[in-house]
Structures are given as structure tokens and as C-alpha cells.
Amino acid sequence: MNKHIELCKKWLDDPDSVTTEELEANADAASAVVTALTNAASDAVWAAYVAATYAKSARRCAKIHEELLNENL
């Protein structure tokens, strides 16, 4: 299981088993993980958007090319 969750569970079971410093460090580390995951998800969505836009543009260009080719035959 996730070490950040494990520390929270430990604290919930026995609040005296974890120091305030450990909880604060855990919160900071967990926040960094969430930020990294959010950035990765954002990058993935952006990449999917760019790929879809490129595909749409490529189809449009192919269609225009075919139309121009047919007009000149």
C-alpha cells in the first residue's frame, strides 16, 4: 500500500505513534506526488488533444488534395 496512506492509518490507530514532523513531511511528500500525477495527467490530455487535432487536420488536407486533384483531371 501507499506509504503516505500507511502513515495516516498508523496515526489514526494511535495518534501518539507519529510525530507532528512526520505528519507534516508526509503531507508535503503526498502533495508532491499529487502535483506530479496531476501534471502527468495534464500532459497526457494535452498530447491526446494535439494528436486528435493533427489527425483532423491531416484528414482535411487529404480531402482538399483529393478535391483539387479531381478538379484538375
Tell me, what's the pLDDT at 1? 72
Q: Domain spans of the chain?
A: 3-71
Q: What is the mean pLDDT of the chain?
A: 91
pLDDT in tens, 34-64: 999 999 999 999 999 999 998 989 999 999 9
C-alpha angle 48-38-31 in degrees, rounded to nearest 5: 170
Name the DSSP class of 2: -
Share of the chain above pLDDT 90, in %: 75
The Cα–Cα gap between 56 and 43 comes to 20
CB-based contact 17:11 (threshold 8 Å):
yes
Amino acid at 36: A
Residue 73 has pLDDT above 70, yes or no: no
